[in-house]
């Protein structure tokens, strides 16, 4: 089957076309056929498309909304110019898998979309006002472009974390706030945490129940997940993706009393403070320069910039605190798994996180670590009790596979 995987963000749409089916999944023989992104939807958009084996196509064009963006993507995929193998018309795209950020308590696994389920996802908008509306625009656009003929599947970022116990997902606020409004920790990046835990399991030939690891998704958004017996038992993001680690522009954990304090001192509304915590904080807020870790490292190394160095130290320190607490939560941790743009590519950040953690059984092999950039590999010292892995994430592949499993009514792992 040829699966179109769509990740519709607030001003961008990313896609991949993946050939897969149950046999190919069993043999890990799935094939990426094409990929791309349209960025800056709503103004002069930047379009980058690539069919495997062909050179990338880059152009700019004014693209008004998500529907026009997805129409452009689909027209390109089926075009002679793209020359995607075995795809010549709409009929050759057999299903669409959507990344959906928030599934609330209702969606604990991937689902085939129908009108009722779309309404139920719309009901979760309140929990993810920044993300779900954009994800849903992708669904509406596919309905318009394909008609109702193509099966559509939603894969939720929150679903992997539904196994968290109540003592981990509840906030210590009056219980009726949970009853009334479902205020609780949901966690995000679940597709990524699930994928790298699954890869670890394959690489080590372990049954799911024997996987006890900490997965670190370190990118522009960052989160940690404690996985015990193959299930998520805790994670650093909360009711929204604002909680937990320091991120590109998000503060992560702060004392909630700061909100009222800043509002009073600066005359900000609550929405303005929330926007500062989401968009002007994290690496950007501390460094005063950028949210981009590569640039922060360059500033620290080339110009000895004090605040760039501080941002790196704070970023790693927060992660180390979470690792310590998740070792306590899991008990017998076999491995730390690093993924995401920073986790997969930055040997410097991985080394700083693992520094001085021998007491917890974590010992890095500096040479192996330096060789791993965007590649799968082990970088712990032979004597380390906890294995250290870098495993590039592949959320699109997992979405394509869940799409096939939903269509074939096969069990979802």
Q: What residue ranges bind ligand AMP (CB under 6 A)?
A: 219-220, 248, 292-294, 297, 340-342, 345-346
Pairwise CA distance, residues 252 & 129, whole Å: 18
153 close to 66: Cβ distance less than 8 angstroms: no
- Count other C-beta atoms under 10 Å from residue 327's C-beta: 19
Residue 266: strand pairing partners: none
- 208 backbone dihedrals φ, ψ, rounded to 5°: -50, -45
* Minimum CB distance to ligand AMP smaller for 115 or for 367: 367
Q: Could you confirm whether 157 is annotated as catalytic?
A: yes
* Minimum CB distance to ligand AMP smaller for 75 or for 370: 370
* Minimum CB distance to ligand AMP smaller for 123 or for 301: 301
HSE, CB side, 13 Å, CA atoms: give it for residue 63: 23
Smallest gap from Cβ 29 to ligand AMP, in A, equals 26
Pairwise CA distance, residues 290 & 293, whole Å: 8
Pairwise CA distance, residues 163 & 186, whole Å: 10
Q: Three-state SS for 333?
A: coil
Closest by CA to 84, choosing from 57, 59, 108, is 57
* Minimum CB distance to ligand AMP smaller for 334 or for 345: 345
CA angle 372, 233, 355 (to 5 degrees): 35
Pairwise CA distance, residues 37 & 8, whole Å: 10
For 208, residues 6+ apart whose C-beta sits below 8 A from its C-beta are 201, 229, 230, 413
Closest by CA to 143, choosing from 115, 124, 123, is 115
Smallest gap from Cβ 233 to ligand AMP, in A, equals 24
133 close to 11: Cβ distance less than 8 angstroms: no
| Selected catalytic residue, list 71, 123, 157, 382 | 157
263 close to 269: Cβ distance less than 8 angstroms: yes
Pairwise CA distance, residues 358 & 332, whole Å: 15
* Minimum CB distance to ligand AMP smaller for 245 or for 297: 297
DSSP state of 204: T
* Minimum CB distance to ligand AMP smaller for 220 or for 278: 220
* Minimum CB distance to ligand AMP smaller for 182 or for 352: 352
188 close to 239: Cβ distance less than 8 angstroms: no
Pairing of strands 213-218, 335-339: parallel
Smallest gap from Cβ 6 to ligand AMP, in A, equals 17
Smallest gap from Cβ 222 to ligand AMP, in A, equals 8
What tokens were used for 411? 């069990």
HSE, CB side, 13 Å, CA atoms: give it for residue 262: 16
Smallest gap from Cβ 366 to ligand AMP, in A, equals 16
Supply the DSSP string of 116-176, one letter for each residue.
HHHHHHHHTGGG-TTTHHHHHHHHHHHHHHHGGGS-EEEEETTGGGGG--HHHH--SS-HH
Smallest gap from Cβ 93 to ligand AMP, in A, equals 26
* Minimum CB distance to ligand AMP smaller for 189 or for 201: 189
So which residues are the catalytic ones? 157
């Amino acid at each position: 089957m040829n699966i179109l995987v769509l990740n519709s963000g607030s001003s961008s749409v990313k896609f991949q076309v993946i050939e897969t089916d149950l046999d190919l999944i069993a043999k890990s023989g799935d094939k990426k056929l094409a990929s791309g992104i349209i960025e800056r939807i709503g103004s002069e958009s930047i379009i980058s498309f690539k069919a495997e084996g062909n050179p990338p196509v880059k152009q700019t064009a004014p693209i008004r909304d998500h529907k026009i963006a997805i129409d452009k993507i689909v027209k390109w995929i089926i075009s002679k110019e793209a020359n995607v193998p075995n795809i010549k018309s709409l009929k050759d795209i057999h299903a669409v898998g959507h990344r959906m950020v928030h599934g609330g308590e209702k969606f604990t696994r991937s689902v085939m979309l129908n009108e009722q389920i779309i309404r139920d996802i719309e009901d979760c908008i309140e929990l993810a006002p920044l993300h779900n509306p954009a994800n849903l625009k992708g669904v509406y656009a596919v309905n318009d472009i394909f008609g109702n003929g193509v099966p559509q599947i939603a894969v939720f970022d929150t679903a992997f974390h539904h196994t968290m116990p109540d003592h981990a997902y509840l906030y210590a606020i009056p219980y009726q706030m949970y009853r009334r409004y479902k205020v609780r920790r949901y966690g995000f990046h679940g597709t990524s945490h699930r994928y790298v835990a699954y890869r670890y399991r394959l690489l080590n030939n372990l049954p799911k129940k024997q996987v006890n690891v900490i997965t670190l998704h370190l990118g522009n958004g960052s989160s940690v997940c404690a996985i015990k017996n193959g299930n998520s038992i805790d994670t650093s993001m909360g009711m929204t993706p604002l909680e937990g680690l320091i991120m590109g522009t998000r503060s992560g954990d702060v004392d909630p009393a700061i909100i009222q304090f800043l509002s009073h001192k600066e005359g900000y509304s609550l929405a303005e403070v929330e926007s500062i915590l989401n968009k002007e904080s994290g690496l950007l807020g501390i460094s005063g320069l950028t949210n981009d870790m590569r640039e922060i490292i360059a500033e620290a190394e080339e110009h000895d910039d004090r605040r760039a160095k501080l941002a790196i130290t704070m970023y790693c320190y927060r992660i180390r605190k979470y690792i310590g607490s998740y070792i306590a939560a899991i008990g017998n941790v076999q491995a730390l798994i690093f993924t995401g743009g920073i986790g997969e590519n930055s040997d410097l950040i991985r080394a700083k996180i693992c520094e001085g953690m021998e007491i917890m059984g974590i010992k890095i092999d500096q040479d192996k670590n330096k060789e791993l950039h965007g590649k799968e590999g082990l970088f712990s010292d032979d004597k380390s009790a906890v294995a250290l892995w870098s495993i590039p994430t592949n959320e699109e592949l997992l979405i394509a596979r869940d799409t096939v499993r939903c269509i074939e009514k096969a069990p979802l792992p």
